[in-house]
């Protein structure tokens, strides 16, 4: 009762933008307990396309709420692994288990391309992310708060065509976040962005991951990005997990610090081992 | 400076009302020169009547009610034929774009029929239908069918597969996927088909009416030719041009309305 009263009072007051954002954020933090990440257990996972055996037995356990980066040479099967986790491909053998029964809304993917509907305004694009809840009466409010989360609430009525590449990716992120997923898989989501936009997007990803507590799986070409963002880095080679490296550097991590650089160097070295051709890493 | 570079500045200078008027300057100048050429006797009235004579002929036909009746008949044939052929073409385009089975069953046949110029069927159509209304409707519908069919099919097949996958990931049902992703994605191409079809619609109708009709604009022109009323012949041609322009403007307006998301239609 008092809670409700206070809520109404605070709504009656004219709020500043920063306060609204803070409020939305703290409301979400409250929800964090309810929608914690899912753990993920993969056993003996294999995937072939015809004669081409891409994944040759992946065994992996990801605890709930962990953020994991997957690196590896081009064509080693990173995207394939991610698509298997997201249920977009069917495995040839092996199993993927989420600990408890996961709904489709619990697992979301973000790709390198934003994949926004050009004929839908930004807000409707975010509403698409609600899945089966699209028709619910609070759909619009939820989409708006997801847009606020990524700092684009002022672009809600725009067409995607007028947004910059980074802004489009942020809309795609809002769309992925709006259903409060418990596993969020990223396939090189920042691959097409310029260096500065990348850094601010990395901060944003780190913040939403911290706020919402989902399990994050990030495929990236950029080893520096992997060590800056993830709790753990997996290196895939020959269809298997060749290295499994814990990144226990405390957050917030300072970009360019000696610790990160040293770790990045050692991962790069293990990636390059036994390969002459380094150009397509 | 190249034309491209100077374009944005020209755009920002123009006034919205003047924009529509500017397109009419050239036709008006042509009519003016035409009038002067006829009045000075540079062009004989037996070759080309003056615009004023054409207008006078139009006025007389308007008063007698003949003009309105013929325009109405042509307009009716064009729109009914268009609706029939367009909706069948659209339906086949949808079916073959969405269903492998339907496509394998009918596409090859339709592609074969497409290579027959539909106006080549006129003798056959006259044998079948006489010079009845159905003959004209049949020809118009047939002519309109293919551009609509081909472009609807093409539009649906070229919808970005990434978007379709996205729709599936976010749990869209087949109906939603069609309504929110496939149809809007195919719409620009469908409009290309629509505008092609409108052109073919008038062309078919003119030919059909001059050959086999007892009313309509084409018939009016043929009658006038027999009585050497060259002003009425020219009048009919001008009216065809106007009607064609009208249909094109209508489809453009519809396009602007439904494709406002498209970068090509956004105001700067
Ligand atoms: N649908 C498919 N059909 C056939 N082969 C496929 C398919 N998808 C992926 N492959 C093959 O599987 C292998 C791994 O592809 P995948 O996209 O997973 O690589 P990746 O690690 O993501 O590469 P990149 O870093 O370049 O994105 C490649 O050899 C690719 O040709
Ligand atoms: Mg990939």
Q: Does B5 score more than 80 pLDDT? A: no
Of residues B171 and B90, the one with the higher pLDDT is: B90
Q: How many domains does chain B have?
A: 1
Residue A241: φ, ψ to 5°: -80, 110
Q: For A67, what's the count of Cα atoms within 13 Å in the CB-facing half-sphere?
A: 24
Q: What's residue A165's pLDDT?
A: 92
Q: Which two tokens stand for residue A14?
A: 């004219």
Maximum Cα–Cα distance for chain A, whole Å? 68
Contact call for A119 and B261, based on CB within 8 A = yes
Per CATH, the number for A39-102+182-281 is: 3.40.50.300
Q: Does A227 score more than 50 pLDDT? A: yes
Residue A218's closest CA among A53, A85, A54, A35? A85
Instruction: Count the neighbouring beta carbons within 10 Å of the beta carbon of residue A49.
Output: 11
- Across the range A157-169, mean pLDDT stands at 94
Q: What is the DSSP string of B42-65?
A: SS-TTTS--HHHHHHHHHHHHHHT
Residue A71's closest CA among A229, A199, A189, A223? A223
Of residues B264 and B73, the one with the higher pLDDT is: B73
Compute CA B250 distance to the chain's CA centroid, rounded to the nearest angstrom.
Answer: 10
| Ligand 1 atom at minimum distance from A77 CA | 18
Q: What's residue A19's pLDDT?
A: 53
Q: Does A193 score more than 80 pLDDT? A: yes
Alpha-carbon distance of B170 to A160, in angstroms, equals: 18
SS3 content of chain B, % helix, strand, coil (to 5): 80, 0, 20
Query: B56: domain CATH number?
Result: 1.10.3720.10
Contact call for B185 and A119, based on CB within 8 A = yes
| Nearest Cβ partner for A118 among B170, B172, B261 | B261
Contact call for A117 and B181, based on CB within 8 A = yes
Q: Kind and range of the H or E element at B106? A: helix B100-114
Q: Does B12 score more than 50 pLDDT? A: no
Q: Does A28 score more than 50 pLDDT? A: no
Q: Is residue B8 part of a domain?
A: no
Q: What's residue B105's pLDDT?
A: 94
Compute CA B12 distance to the chain's CA centroid, rounded to the nearest angstrom.
Answer: 31
Alpha helices in chain A (DSSP H): 2-12, 17-32, 78-85, 122-128, 139-149, 165-177, 195-212, 223-229, 258-272
Judged by phi (left if over 0) then psi (alpha if -120 to 50, else beta), residue A188 lies in left
Give A79 Cα–ligand 2 centroid separation in angstroms.
4
Q: Does A45 score more than 90 pLDDT? A: yes
Residue B180's closest CA among A131, A165, A139? A131
* Whether the Cβ atoms of residue A197 and residue A191 lie closer than 8 Å to each other: no
For B268, nearest residue in chain A (alpha carbons): A162
Q: What's residue A17's pLDDT?
A: 52
Q: Does A35 score more than 90 pLDDT? A: no
pLDDT in tens, B94-120: 999 999 999 999 999 999 988 889 888
Q: What's residue B56's pLDDT?
A: 93
Q: Kind and range of the H or E element at A71? A: strand A67-72
Q: What's residue B17's pLDDT?
A: 61
Q: What's residue A31's pLDDT?
A: 44
| Closest-approaching ligand to the CA atom of A109 | 2
Contact call for B180 and A117, based on CB within 8 A = yes
Q: Is residue B7 part of a domain?
A: no
Q: Is residue B44 part of a domain?
A: no
* Whether the Cβ atoms of residue A127 and residue A134 lie closer than 8 Å to each other: yes
- Positive or negative: CA dihedral A203, A206, A208, A211: negative
Q: What's residue B29's pLDDT?
A: 94
Ion ligand 2 neighbours, Cβ < 5 Å:
A 79
Q: What's residue B210's pLDDT?
A: 85
Q: Which two tokens stand for residue B38?
A: 């006829």
Ligand 1 binding pocket, CB closer than 6 Å = A 49, 52, 54, 72, 74-80
Confidence of residue B44 (pLDDT cuts 50, 70, 90): confident
Residue for token pair 């500045």: B9
Contact call for B163 and A109, based on CB within 8 A = no
| Closest-approaching ligand to the CA atom of A48 | 1
Q: What's residue B193's pLDDT?
A: 95
Q: Does A226 score more than 90 pLDDT? A: yes
Is residue B57 classed exposed, middle or buried when 0-12, 13-18 and 19+ CB atoms within 10 A define those classes?
A: buried
Q: Tell me which residue has its CA closest to atom 18 in ligand 1.
A: A77
Alpha-carbon distance of B260 to B69, in angstroms, equals: 37
Q: Does A32 score more than 70 pLDDT? A: no
- Across the range B207-227, mean pLDDT stands at 88
| Closest-approaching ligand to the CA atom of A85 | 1
Q: Percentage of chain A surpassing pLDDT 90?
A: 62
Is residue B44 classed exposed, middle or buried when 0-12, 13-18 and 19+ CB atoms within 10 A define those classes?
A: exposed
Residues in B touching A120 (Cβ below 8 Å): 180, 261
Highest mean pLDDT among A118-132, B114-128, B237-251: A118-132
Confidence of residue A273 (pLDDT cuts 50, 70, 90): confident
Query: Between β-strands A67-72 and A93-97, what pairing exists: parallel, antiparallel or unpaired?
Result: unpaired
Buried-exposed string A224-233: b where 16+ CB fall within 10 A, e elsewhere:
bbbbbbbbbb
Q: Kind and range of the H or E element at A219? A: strand A215-219
* Whether the Cβ atoms of residue A49 and residue A71 lie closer than 8 Å to each other: no
Residues in A touching B184 (Cβ below 8 Å): 117, 119
| Ligand 1 atom at minimum distance from A50 CA | 4
For A158, nearest residue in chain B (alpha carbons): B261
Q: Percentage of chain B surpassing pLDDT 90?
A: 56
* Whether the Cβ atoms of residue B79 and residue B139 lie closer than 8 Å to each other: no
Instruction: Count the neighbouring beta carbons within 10 Å of the beta carbon of residue B167.
Output: 22
Contact call for A129 and B167, based on CB within 8 A = no
- Across the range A70-96, mean pLDDT stands at 93
Q: Report which DSSP code applies to A247.
A: -
For the question of whether the overall pTM of this predicted structure is more than 0.90, the answer is no
Report the mean per-residue pLDDT for chain B.
88
Q: Does A27 score more than 80 pLDDT? A: no
Mutate to test the interface with B, among A88, A109, A112, A115 (most CBs of B within 10 A): A115
The domain spans of chain A are: 39-102+182-281, 120-178
Is residue A263 classed exposed, middle or buried when 0-12, 13-18 and 19+ CB atoms within 10 A define those classes?
A: buried
Q: What's residue A96's pLDDT?
A: 93
Q: What's residue A13's pLDDT?
A: 42
Confidence of residue A8 (pLDDT cuts 50, 70, 90): very low
Q: Tell me which residue has its CA closest to atom 19 in ligand 1.
A: A75
- Across the range A3-21, mean pLDDT stands at 44
* Whether the Cβ atoms of residue A87 and residue A111 lie closer than 8 Å to each other: no
Angle, CA A157 vertex, CA A190 and CA B264 arms, to 5°: 80
Confidence of residue A113 (pLDDT cuts 50, 70, 90): very high
Highest mean pLDDT among A101-105, A172-176, A272-276, B6-10: A172-176
Among A200-204, A250-254, B134-138, B220-224, which stretch is predicted with the lowest mean pLDDT?
A: A250-254
Q: Is residue B23 part of a domain?
A: no
Q: What's residue B211's pLDDT?
A: 82
Alpha-carbon distance of A84 to A68, in angstroms, equals: 16
SS3 content of chain A, % helix, strand, coil (to 5): 45, 20, 35
Q: Is residue B40 part of a domain?
A: no
The range of the structural domain enclosing residue B183 comes to: 51-266
Q: Tell me which residue has its CA closest to atom 7 in ligand 1.
A: A49
Alpha helices in B158-180 (DSSP H): 161-169, 174-177
Q: What's residue B214's pLDDT?
A: 85
Q: What's residue B78's pLDDT?
A: 93
Q: Does B11 score more than 70 pLDDT? A: no
- Across the range A135-145, mean pLDDT stands at 91
Q: Does B9 score more than 60 pLDDT? A: no
- Across the range A213-228, mean pLDDT stands at 93
Could you report how far apart the first and last alpha carbons of chain B are, in Å?
Answer: 21
């Amino acid at each position: 009762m008092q809670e409700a009263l206070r809520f109404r009072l605070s709504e009656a007051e004219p709020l500043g933008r920063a306060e609204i954002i803070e409020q939305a954020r703290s409301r979400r933090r409250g929800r964090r307990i309810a929608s914690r990440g899912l753990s993920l257990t993969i056993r003996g996972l294999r995937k072939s396309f015809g004669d081409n055996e891409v994944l040759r037995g992946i065994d992996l356990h990801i605890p709930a709420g962990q953020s994991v980066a997957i690196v590896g040479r081009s064509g080693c099967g990173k995207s394939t692994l991610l698509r298997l986790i997201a249920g977009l491909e069917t495995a040839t053998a092996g199993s993927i288990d989420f600990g408890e029964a996961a709904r489709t809304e619990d697992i979301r993917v973000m790709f390198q391309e934003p994949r926004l509907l050009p004929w839908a305004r930004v807000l409707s694009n975010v509403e698409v992310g609600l899945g089966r809840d699209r028709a619910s009466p609070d759909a619009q409010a939820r989409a708006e708060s997801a847009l606020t989360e990524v700092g684009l609430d002022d672009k809600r009525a725009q067409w995607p065509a007028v947004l910059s590449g980074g802004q489009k990716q942020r809309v795609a992120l809002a769309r992925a976040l709006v259903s409060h997923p418990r596993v969020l898989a990223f396939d090189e989501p920042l691959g097409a962005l310029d260096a500065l936009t990348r850094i601010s997007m990395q901060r944003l990803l780190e913040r939403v991951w911290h706020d919402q507590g989902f399990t994050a799986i990030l495929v990236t070409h950029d080893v520096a990005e992997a060590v800056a963002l993830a709790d753990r880095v997996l290196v895939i080679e020959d269809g298997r997990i060749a290295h499994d490296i814990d990144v226990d550097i405390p957050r917030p991590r300072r970009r360019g610090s000696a610790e990160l650089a040293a770790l990045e160097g050692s991962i790069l070295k293990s990636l390059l081992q036994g390969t002459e051709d380094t150009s397509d890493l | 400076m190249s034309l491209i570079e100077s374009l944005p500045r020209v755009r920002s200078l123009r006034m919205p009302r003047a924009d529509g008027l500017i397109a009419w300057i050239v036709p008006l100048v042509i009519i003016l020169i035409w009038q002067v050429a006829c009045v000075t006797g540079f062009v004989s009235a037996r070759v080309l009547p003056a615009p004023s004579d054409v207008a006078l002929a139009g006025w007389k036909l308007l008063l007698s009610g003949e003009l309105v009746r013929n325009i109405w008949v042509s307009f009716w044939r064009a729109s009914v034929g268009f609706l029939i052929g367009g909706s069948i073409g659209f339906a086949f385009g949808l079916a073959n774009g969405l269903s492998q089975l339907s496509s394998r069953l009918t596409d090859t046949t339709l592609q074969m029929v497409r290579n027959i110029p539909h106006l080549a069927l006129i003798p056959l159509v006259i044998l079948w239908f006489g010079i009845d209304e159905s003959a004209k409707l049949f020809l118009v519908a047939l002519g309109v069918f293919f551009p609509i069919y081909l472009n609807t099919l093409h539009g649906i097949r070229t919808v970005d597969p990434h978007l379709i996958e996205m729709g599936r990931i976010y749990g869209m049902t087949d109906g939603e996927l069609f309504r929110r992703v496939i149809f809007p994605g195919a719409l620009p191409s469908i409009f290309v088909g629509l505008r092609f079809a409108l052109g073919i619609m008038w062309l078919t109708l003119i030919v059909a009416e001059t050959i086999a009709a007892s009313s309509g604009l084409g018939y009016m022109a043929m009658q006038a030719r027999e009585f050497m009323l060259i002003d009425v012949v020219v009048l009919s041609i001008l009216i065809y041009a106007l009607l064609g322009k009208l249909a094109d403007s209508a489809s453009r307006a519809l396009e602007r309305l439904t494709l406002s998301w498209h970068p090509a239609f956004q105001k700067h």
